[in-house]
Structures are given as structure tokens and as C-alpha cells.
Structure 1
């Protein structure tokens, strides 16, 4: 029965994507700033490939910002398969990513149930309904699969054929590898996929502290109390991650015959010289910025993204997968060129933590703000760019609404996580109602 449901969902997701790709709908989302940004635009990949085939360095200008391996991969695919086959790669990869997330969710739910049952004696009385039920082993992975396959953000990103599809695949592979257990292969593969994701999208290196703690969580119980073991594992994991990333960068320099891609890929991601409007915070701020202050605020914005990595990982060290989820959302909020593909990926992971939903207080506000932003983005863009009856302030205003909705979501779910942990250890304490009287919080 479960296999039939999974196969049916996968077939429906693939049919929906492939059917839409070969329809006229991609023209409606073509070069939409919500989906396509300078760092994931398929049109720019095509232009960079043309320059590369013509013997021109694609990184010499300000058009191409993908990695050399992405460039070479597309060049090989273009020679081996037809345009029809290349178009099909995106829905196929999306379906594969959905299944990777499905198995990751199942592994994580199983591990969570086992750990909570072991720690049940430490929990306060009357908190049994806060624990993850055994039924979630079946329902949660299905929800993750469906949320990813039928998420409009993900579908639109696939139709636009953005390279976010590849990044999402690498992140899903990293998560699944990390959830496979304490084996050496699991550790190596998860670090390998994180290095590939970082190579493709620079800011993914911020996931390393949380991933390290996740891999450490799978270590034998007796080893985790040793400080030497922690230091040794950190050095090993950092060495493997850094070594793979260095090999990818050096290999890219050999392929290109120069180091020009460093500026075109990673320098571009940090300094964000392209101020094309998108759903992020950078473009409007730096459009209005005096040039003499640009360098200072560029580094401030970069540090703002990086500063959350270690504190969030330490705070959530007992739940590293949730730390990874939180960091993915923060990276999406604060990086220079976010897209709907990035937003859709971390939102698709939310069903894994559906146990936190009863503790969340801003759900309605977040949903309404996301819907309002989704409706008004294309309208205000048309009024500004095509009709000319509005200006950049209108579009940036709805961008702030969209970013604020994500901030509310992250803070709300983190607070809900802490509430649940506190209640598990201390019991269901009395809250104070609007009249100042004690009101028992009954769950049974």
C-alpha cells in the first residue's frame, strides 16, 4: 500500500512538472525574479556555455556565475543528449530529491522516537502526549514527500530550470547520508555532499557546525563524553570537508586554466555587485547606498549571515537536524540572491517538526503574509517595470513583507522547540490567562 502511494505521488509529481515544462506556462515564469536570480539563472548558464564553446572566458564579464563543473557538465550534456532530454533532467532530479527527503524524514523520525523512549524516565509526568507518536514513522515522510513534490515554489523553480534544483538535490543527499548512522561511509558521503553544495552555493559552508554535531550524535555513547574524541572528530571532519572543497576548487582552476572563476562565483556571492531586484534584502539597500560606504556594509551583511552558524548549532546541539533546518532558513533570508527554490526546500522539511505546531503562535500571520507576498510580487513588478505607474519602493515593500514572514516563522518555530523541550523536562506548568488567573494547560 505504501509503495503504491509513493509511486503514485512520484508519477504525479513528474507528470505535473514535465507536462508544464513542455507547455506555454514556462513563458509566464520565464526570468521571474522570484525564481531566477543571477546565481541560479538557466539563461545565464546557456550564455556562459556559448562563451565557453567560443573560446571566451565566461567569467571575464558579469554574466556567468555558476561553477566550472556546472559549466562542463552542461557542455557534456548538450553534446550527448537533446534539448528535450536536458529539460527532463530537472523534473527527474526533483523527484529524486523528494525521495531523498522522504528517507531522511523516516530515519530522523525513527531516531527521534528511539531517543525519546530512552529518555522517557527523565521526562516529567503528564507529558506523554508531547512525545512523537509511532504513527509519524509513516505519516511524516509521506508529508515531506508530498510537500516537496507539490510545493509551488519548487515546481516554479523546476519550470524555470534554475540550478537551485541541483543545490536542493545535494542538500537532500547530505541530509540522508548524515541520517544513515555512525558508519564511516555515512560520514564521508555527508561531508562530500556538503562540500559539493558549498562549492555550488558558497553559504552552505555555514551548515558545517550543525552537520558536525549531527555526525557526532551518531558516535558511540561512551566516546561522546571524551573531550579528546570531540576535538579529534572535529579535526577529521573539518579536514575531510576542507580537503574535498579544496580539491573541487583546484580541479576547477585546472579545467578553466585560470582562477578567474573565484571572483565570478564566490566573490560575486559575497560582494553582490549585481543589483537586479529579487526577493532578498540586498539590492534596494545597496542601490540607495553611497559608494564610499559600500565596502563596509557589504562586509557587515556578510558577517550577519555568518554569525548565526555557531551560536545556533551550540544552542541546538541536542537536536542538530533542527539546527540545520534553522540555518537553512536563515541563510535563505539573509543571503544576497535568494529565490523561491531556496524557500521551498526548507519549508518542505517543516512536516518533520509538526510536533511543534501546537506550540507555535504566529502560524496564521506567517501564512497570510506568504500568500500576500506571492500574489503581490508579480503585480507590483508589472506596475513598476512594465506599466511604469509604480516605483521600486512598492516592490521592496512587499519584499520586506516576505522576509518578515520568514523571520516570524523562524523565531516562532525556535520558540516552539524550546517550549516543548521545557515542558518535557518540567511538566505542564500553569499559564496566566488574560484576567491574570491561573489556567491549567491540559493536554490529556
Structure 2
């Protein structure tokens, strides 16, 4: 499978290099679907200019990246195009290797469960094959393995500790580089308080632009809690399926974050092929795919009508933003339903019957 990966990477790098050299580069850099107040390249350039003048890049309200980013590009600004392409390639390779390892674990686990008669006898067509998983085992003979079982809460504490330690290291390293704590309100405070209401493909900007100021704090807390509200119940429900939990959680973050871009959506959609075995259980995939595709085409159209032609207003653009995000929510809900339905069938059998022998219908609530 290495050859297809190399071909895809070469094609992607070629397309990206061509876009960098074309007249579309400036147009794409200005698109609100691609650039946000957090990641806009113009803001990075302005932050670098302030840093070169000996002024803190966080003294104004323009730059909101971490000190690690600005010091990285302080030395690599001339090679920014190359840095972006290398980062994309490393991300693609990391995802490929991670999914390969995941497929190996799933392949071994399901063979062990089959040997232990944990699956129903009529679910052979639901078992993932090596071809579907894009994974060819090195040996034909299966060697039984024992699945190591650890407490769910032990895993939770381990990963929570790892996250907190990483956050502390990043903050301490940022302070060492900047010799100031100015970056905390300018980066983390900016993300949480949402002071910049520049239009984007998220749910925050229009809502808070129309809201009375004295209600803002309450509704900022209500909106921001959505990112964290689903974490614990999903973690408990999917404690034996960490990769699917990560996929759902990344999707929720990309939908409910304060300054989303298409890059956030592309991250979780890169995992969709991993769940190809769920396609037979998806209920509205065609309709939802059409909704997301048509919304993607209508974003620039309604933006042009609002900003340049003057024949529309912000309500039009926000309406398509709402439709796009509702489509994403329904898409993730559909995958979650399909995942739970397949897991139920694996245990209870694909062809369910009532006590009288007639065919039963599965309804998940």
C-alpha cells in the first residue's frame, strides 16, 4: 500500500504547489471559509513585523497564534510555502500509519472474538475483511492473543494527565520565548470570549453580532460548553472504541468551535474511509452529501451577493452557514447510529426475530 500513498502525496503536493504559484492563491487566502482571525496569514505577517520592531505581537488585537508559531516563521518566513507542504505530507503519512496500526489491532481483535464465540453466527458479512481494511496480514495463520484490559477511568486519567502536561509544557515554552504572559489572553482568551465577529462558517459570529451586550457572557458560556458537554457521555459509550470516539469528538469540535475553517472539517472527514464498513447502515448519506456539496458552492455565491453585489445581506450567508452545520451534525449522527447498529447486530445477530418467529425490526433510541 506504500505505492498508492506516494502517488497520492505527489499529486497533492503538485496541486498545492500549482495553487501557490497561480493567481488563485491571493483569492483563496482572503476567503472567510479558509482564513479566520486565528489562522489568517496576513495576521501572522503583521505579528512578525511587530516582533522585528521589538514590539510584542500581542500588544494589539491582530495576532492570536501561539509564540511557538511566530518564532517558527520568524526563521522560516522565506520558506513558508515549503513548510506548509511538508506539514501536509507529514500529516498524511501520520494518518496513514495510524490507520494501518488501527486496522491490525481490529483485525486481530475480531478474529479473537470470533474464536471466543462473542459474535452471533449469522454476521459473517459484517466482519471486516483485510481487503476492506486495506491491510494484508503478514501471516495466514492466526496466533491467539490476549486483549489487555485496563480500567476505562485509568485510561481517562492517563490521557488527561498527558494532555495537561503537554499544555503546561507549551505554556512554559511560550513564556520562555516571549518572556511575557501576554499571549494567554490574546490566544486562549480570544478563543473563549469570541470578541472578533468576522464572518466565517461557524455558528458564533452572527448570533453574537445581533445580541445585546449584557447577554453575551451567558451565551458565550452556553455556546462554548457544547465542545465539552458531549465528551463524557461519548467517552463512556465508546470506551471500547477509542478511534471512533476521537472521530466523533473532532467532528463536534470542528462544528462548535468559535473560529472554524474548512481545514477543521477536512481533518475529521479524512477518517470517513475508515468507516466504509458502516455504509450499509447509513440512512441519509446521499441527501447529506448533496447538502454539504451544494452549501460549499453557495458559500462564495452568497458572500459575493452580500459584500460585493449588495443584493443580499448577512442573513443569506448565515442561513447557508446554518444549513452547512446542520448537515454536518446530521452526518455525524448518521455515522454514530450506523456504528451502534452494527455493534448491536454483531452481538445479537443480523436477522432478528420475535418470539413467534416473525422478522423483527431494530429501533435504536
- 237 and 39 in structure 1: CA distance in 2 versus 1, 3 angstrom threshold: same
What residue ranges of structure 2 are gaps of 5+ in the alignment? 137-145
Cα distance in 2, alignment partners of residues 107 and 431 from structure 1: 37
**2:73 equivalent in structure 1:** 74
**1:94 equivalent in structure 2:** 88
Q: Identify the match of residue 336 of structure 1 among 241, 253, 258.
A: 258
Q: Identify the match of residue 131 of structure 2 among 131, 135, 158.
A: 135
Q: Tell me, yes or no, if structure 1 residue 274 matches structure 2 residue 273.
A: no
Deviation string, structure 1 residues 283-340 (Cα, Å, up to 9, x no partner)? 0000111101001111111112111111111111110100000000000011111100
Q: Is the 8 A contact 2:122 2:351 kept in 1?
A: no
Q: Tell me, yes or no, if structure 1 residue 42 matches structure 2 residue 38.
A: no
Matched ranges for 1:212-231 at <5 A: 221=147, 224=150, 231=154
Number of residue equivalences: 348
Q: Is the 8 A contact 1:276 1:283 kept in 2?
A: yes
- 382 and 298 in structure 1: CA distance in 2 versus 1, 3 angstrom threshold: same
**2:31 equivalent in structure 1:** 32
**1:111 equivalent in structure 2:** 105
- 383 and 21 in structure 1: CA distance in 2 versus 1, 3 angstrom threshold: same
Q: Tell me, yes or no, if structure 1 residue 423 matches structure 2 residue 345.
A: yes
Q: Matched residue of 1:38: which SS?
A: coil
**2:289 equivalent in structure 1:** 367
RMSD of aligned Cα (Å): 2.2
- 237 and 313 in structure 1: CA distance in 2 versus 1, 3 angstrom threshold: closer
Deviation string, structure 1 residues 185-221 (Cα, Å, up to 9, x no partner)? xxxxxxxxxxxxxxxxxxxxxxxxxxxxxxxxxxx84
**1:414 equivalent in structure 2:** 336
Higher-Rg structure is 2
Q: Is the 8 A contact 2:291 2:324 kept in 1?
A: yes
- 41 and 282 in structure 1: CA distance in 2 versus 1, 3 angstrom threshold: same
**1:309 equivalent in structure 2:** 231
- 32 and 320 in structure 1: CA distance in 2 versus 1, 3 angstrom threshold: same
Cα distance in 2, alignment partners of residues 223 and 390 from structure 1: 58
Q: Matched residue of 1:136: which SS?
A: coil
Q: Matched residue of 1:126: which SS?
A: coil
Shift of 1:55: 1.4
Shift of 1:237: 4.2
Larger proportion of helix: 1
Q: Is the 8 A contact 2:44 2:63 kept in 1?
A: yes
Cα distance in 1, alignment partners of residues 64 and 224 from structure 2: 18
Q: Matched residue of 2:30: which SS?
A: coil
Matched ranges for 1:316-331 at <5 A: 316-331=238-253
TM-score (norm 1): 0.74
Q: Identify the match of residue 120 of structure 2 among 103, 107, 124.
A: 124
Shift of 1:61: 1.4
Q: Tell me, yes or no, if structure 1 residue 351 matches structure 2 residue 273.
A: yes
Q: Is the 8 A contact 1:35 1:339 kept in 2?
A: yes
Q: Matched residue of 2:192: which SS?
A: helix
Q: Is the 8 A contact 2:100 2:135 kept in 1?
A: no
Shift of 1:417: 0.4
Q: Is the 8 A contact 1:109 1:136 kept in 2?
A: no
What residue ranges of structure 1 are gaps of 5+ in the alignment? 141-219
Shift of 1:253: 1.7
Q: Matched residue of 2:3: which SS?
A: helix
TM-score (norm 2): 0.90
Shift of 1:431: 8.7
Shift of 1:67: 0.1
Shift of 1:404: 0.7
Q: Is the 8 A contact 2:29 2:41 kept in 1?
A: no
Cα distance in 2, alignment partners of residues 223 and 91 from structure 1: 40
Matched ranges for 1:130-279 at <5 A: 130-138=126-134, 221=147, 224=150, 231=154, 234-279=156-201
Q: Is the 8 A contact 1:429 1:440 kept in 2?
A: no
Cα distance in 1, alignment partners of residues 214 and 241 from structure 2: 43
- 288 and 440 in structure 1: CA distance in 2 versus 1, 3 angstrom threshold: closer
Shift of 1:257: 2.0
Shift of 1:235: 4.5
